[in-house]
Structure 1
């Protein structure tokens, strides 16, 4: 069903519904917006009605008034309009699908190629590395949780900051790019929980660790399969070879399906009968570990050598710089390299990017804070598993460099950032690993419920880092693992 001259209801104006509603109204539809969470300011709702003709409501509307509903994949199916639509057989499409239809019908984008990247882990780092690689040959605009950037010849320029990675933000990202006079050859979009179907190349980084959505009635991994199910004929899908659910969904797909395997990530231990198209190995032979879930050697902070293979043939090797935890970028290295090569980037440009890379801010990057070593792992995708891996890395650094003790800054700056960091998970973390740190500074109001002997509290990441700096000696390590926008 097309999205033209229809009566449409856009559900959830909080998570990307507003730009969708505005665009659909501009395309000649009769649009109503439903603020299902009641979180949108009344003045903003009034503006939508007066300026764009979008009728807004904080209460469910009568289903009979609409041709179809547009709802996010994470909305509780028990929401009255969704529940009634399901019982009456009324068409419901996701925010992702709506964006896909809008983009594919937009003549202004006909000569611009689109890359979409989704998954649980490594989305931002994969997208950022790919933007750098593509920019060595093409003009690129990158939209991630870090911001909206224009890339050219390996140099980024910030266009705008503050957009989420909901599918609706894609429309805003395109609008702000074109308004700035930037018309790229490639748009790269980091997208939460799925793909739109407009991509010329779609990348699935990982499907694990999985988690519940829509009031725990479905799994995020199922929603992310939209990247595959919505893929347009002739496009390319680059999938993690360990994501069996995705590989099964890709069978019979009219897109070109390619797979990658990185040797560090546990879910990438595939059956011998399934030969990935792209494989990443280390010179130390990490890929040949005798234990399926563990690497053969411990990833180190110092630079190491990567070997990149396509269907068993080595295409290149790259010597990585020290100064960041290269193992934290394992998925991004192989996925971005494979995507870049498929899109026409020369091997030497891919190698150059890998060898120049110094890590992304807030993603296992080594820095200094007032003369004290800082491992920065604070970002929007940080979760408790990431905090565990960061601590493991800091402990290794402590041992190798004969450092003193670890001061950990852990928590969240905003509970709405990608579902926040559950206090119950933090409580479990400090009970299991708290003794490995001299002191833990918990960030965020919700962390006040977490109790431990060596714990204090801070209201924000800067406050937490200031307290850590005051506590730490010159031989100590400050480890920052706070869920936040950077």
Structure 2
């Protein structure tokens, strides 16, 4: 758990510098100003702003320590927090206490987990999902796109929370890059495997993603892939408390029959199904309804979705998280003499 920096309560006399306008800094600074704080956003990749007059510096977790602005702030012993922490502190106490908030982070399966969770929750609640697909309202298993083009940088959680209030939803699901903000009632870590370097190769991405734990509010529940070797409230995927098989979902040793779509790339969705089911179960959705939500499910567009046309079959995995293994799996499933692979 973390200690607040005083952004909300007694930070009104402090001046705050928010670094990196490219990755949500301007959004965070604007919300600070609207909250009565003295804040300014700075572009730090082509400029070295003078931060001498600022008391608090808010920097993205991926910013390299040798970035001139960040390095000077450290030399001057400025108080420095991450974008994630700033967003959590700005919104804490300002969102409807009855709104259930789910945050999803990890090295893979984030979007699919968030979307499947929205699908499951929407059987009982009006849900807003914020993912790389955009902002979508979910009701009774159907999604309606509200807005495209938002990145999953933590700053955009501010906008998602505003839309959630305007739309009167009961649950908000946010896919977030490199960790949680501390707002979540349920924090989900889909995976830490396939780790990679950030901040000019000075730290591991998994370290940043663990903000889901270090920034967690009191009473929040942590759900994590069993391979992450954490000590969550609920583990999922192979070896976890909740895991999936092509024909069944196992929750605490209870088996629930699954009737997934014939064309579903199960291996590509195995983690997401388990993670989403674990979160939905913790949120009180009956296990039978979780299974019903998955009935006939054959994938999301752009995420190993099979499209069949007369004399043609498309394996659509046109998303930014495409990996070589996805292409290999599509080739393994394909057959026939006229095969074409388009990879971008």
For the pair shown, which has the larger CA radius of gyration, 1 or 2? Answer: 1
Q: Give the aligned partner of residue 341 of structure 2.
A: 408
Written as runs of structure 1 = structure 2, the 5 A alignment for 1:123-202 is 123-178=110-165, 181-202=166-187
- SS in structure 1 opposite 2:108? coil
Could you tell me whether the CA contact under 8 Å between 2:264 and 2:297 is conserved in 1?
A: no
Q: Give the aligned partner of residue 76 of structure 2.
A: 88
Query: What's the CA shift for 1:60?
Result: 2.4
d(CA) in 2 for partners of 1:198, 1:393: 38
d(CA) in 2 for partners of 1:397, 1:319: 23
Query: What's the CA shift for 1:176?
Result: 3.6
Query: What's the CA shift for 1:404?
Result: 1.4
Could you tell me whether the CA contact under 8 Å between 2:248 and 2:255 is conserved in 1?
A: no
- SS in structure 2 opposite 1:409? coil
Query: What's the CA shift for 1:371?
Result: 4.1
CA deviation map 1:440-478 (0-9, x unaligned): xxxxxxxxxxxxxxxxxxxxxxxxxxxxxxxxxxxxxxx
d(CA) in 2 for partners of 1:209, 1:372: 34
1:305 aligns with 2:241: no
Could you tell me whether the CA contact under 8 Å between 2:190 and 2:224 is conserved in 1?
A: yes
Please report the RMSD computed on the Cα atoms of aligned residues, expressed in angstroms.
Answer: 1.7
Q: Give the aligned partner of residue 437 of structure 1.
A: none
Q: Give the aligned partner of residue 231 of structure 1.
A: 216
Structure 1 unaligned residues grouped into runs of 5+: 39-58, 251-255, 263-269, 271-275, 283-303, 412-486
Q: Give the aligned partner of residue 98 of structure 2.
A: 111
d(CA) in 1 for partners of 2:311, 2:26: 45
Comparing 167-176 with 225-234, greater Cα deviation is found at 167-176
Query: What's the CA shift for 1:405?
Result: 4.0
Structure 2 unaligned residues grouped into runs of 5+: none
d(CA) in 2 for partners of 1:370, 1:67: 64
Could you tell me whether the CA contact under 8 Å between 1:7 and 1:30 is conserved in 2?
A: yes
Among 396, 400, 403, which residue is 2:333 paired with?
396
Could you tell me whether the CA contact under 8 Å between 1:11 and 1:36 is conserved in 2?
A: yes
Q: Give the aligned partner of residue 376 of structure 1.
A: 316
1:345 aligns with 2:285: yes
Query: What's the CA shift for 1:8?
Result: 0.3
Judging changes above 3 Å, is the alpha-carbon distance between structure 1 residues 173 and 320 closer, same or farther for their aligned structure 2 residues?
same
Q: Give the aligned partner of residue 289 of structure 1.
A: none
TM-score (norm. length: structure 2): 0.93
Point out the structure with the larger helix share: 1
Q: Give the aligned partner of residue 276 of structure 2.
A: 336
d(CA) in 2 for partners of 1:163, 1:365: 23
Could you tell me whether the CA contact under 8 Å between 1:116 and 1:199 is conserved in 2?
A: yes
Q: Give the aligned partner of residue 456 of structure 1.
A: none
d(CA) in 2 for partners of 1:20, 1:371: 51
d(CA) in 2 for partners of 1:307, 1:258: 15
Could you tell me whether the CA contact under 8 Å between 1:14 and 1:37 is conserved in 2?
A: no
CA deviation map 1:210-232 (0-9, x unaligned): 11111111111110000011111
Larger RCO: Structure 1 or Structure 2 (Cα < 8 Å, ≥ 6 residues apart)?
A: 2
1:360 aligns with 2:300: yes
- SS in structure 2 opposite 1:355? coil
- SS in structure 1 opposite 2:234? strand
User: How many residues are aligned here?
Assistant: 336
Judging changes above 3 Å, is the alpha-carbon distance between structure 1 residues 354 and 74 closer, same or farther for their aligned structure 2 residues?
same
TM-score (norm. length: structure 1): 0.66
